[in-house]
Amino acid sequence: MDAELDAVKVVIGTNRYGRPVEGLVVGPLDSGEWVAYVNRCCHHPVPLDSRPGETWIDGAKQELVCAAHGARYRMKDGVCTAGPCPGEALVPLRLERRGTEMWVEPPLTSVLHSLR
Ligand code: FES
């Protein structure tokens, strides 16, 4: 049986105002790999799931969808394929598997502090 696609949010640090910044860990993709991105839309600096209760994974389970204005990001590389910011990409996060656990490497402080 194939594993069900899942998306988990984790706090990866704080921005320059001391507000928490979340990452999204998504997987397993069709390839079996997991990916992680900063949970911040390229269009406006809001989380992709800024509207509670709205799903952020498209029905085909290939894209992440921003709840605010519908930007669609390919899960495998975070590139926006449709919506108000085509060609831009989510900030990737490095993942490391340690035994049965998945660890997310926070981005550099300079990257975190560049986020609003
Ligand atoms: S804020 Fe994400 S599409 Fe506009």
Residue 65 has a pLDDT of: 95
Please state which CATH number belongs to domain 6-114: 2.102.10.10
Q: What is the pTM of this model?
A: 0.90
Residue 1 has a pLDDT of: 46
- β-partners of residue 72 are 65, 82
100 phi, psi to nearest 5 deg: -95, 0
47 in contact with ligand 1, CB cutoff 6 A: no
Residue 81 has a pLDDT of: 97
Residue 109 has a pLDDT of: 85
**Ligand 1 atom at minimal distance to the Cα of residue 46:** 1
- Domain extents in the chain: 6-114
> What is the block-wise mean pLDDT of the chain (116 residues), using blocks of 10 residues?
80 91 92 94 92 80 93 96 97 93 88 80
- DSSP one-letter code for 55: -
Q: Report CA(5)–ligand 1 centroid distance (Å).
A: 23
Residue 2 has a pLDDT of: 61
- β-partners of residue 8 are 25
